[in-house]
Amino acid sequence: MRKTVALLLTLLVCAACSLPPERPFTKEELYKTGIYTYFTINDSPESVISAINKEGEVVLDARYRNRPVWIKILGKIDGLTFQIIEK
């Protein structure tokens, strides 16, 4: 019983972690999201793509119309998705 519970907890923890994508993303795919058009981001596209390909996700400090925001970009099988989070 204890081994089963430990195994289930281990699986849950591993499933919650971000993993690197199966295929590496390119800078063109990042530009298709449009975040560099609408937001002021201090990080270079190359460093963002490197972080996504290494970790599977990245959180960027950005500005939208002089308002500070965070942008969370996830590398999924069907492409890059992002969320905007106000600070």
Give the tens place of pLDDT for each residue, 26-65. Answer: 999 999 999 999 999 999 999 999 999 999 999 999 999 9
Question: Are the C-beta atoms of 83 and 39 separated by less than 8 Å?
Answer: no
Question: What pLDDT was estimated at residue 8?
Answer: 53
In a domain, 11, yes or no: no
- What mean pLDDT is reported for the chain? 86
In a domain, 40, yes or no: yes
Buried b (16+ CB within 10 A) or exposed e, 35-45: beeebebeeee
In a domain, 5, yes or no: no
In a domain, 28, yes or no: yes
Number of domains in the chain: 1
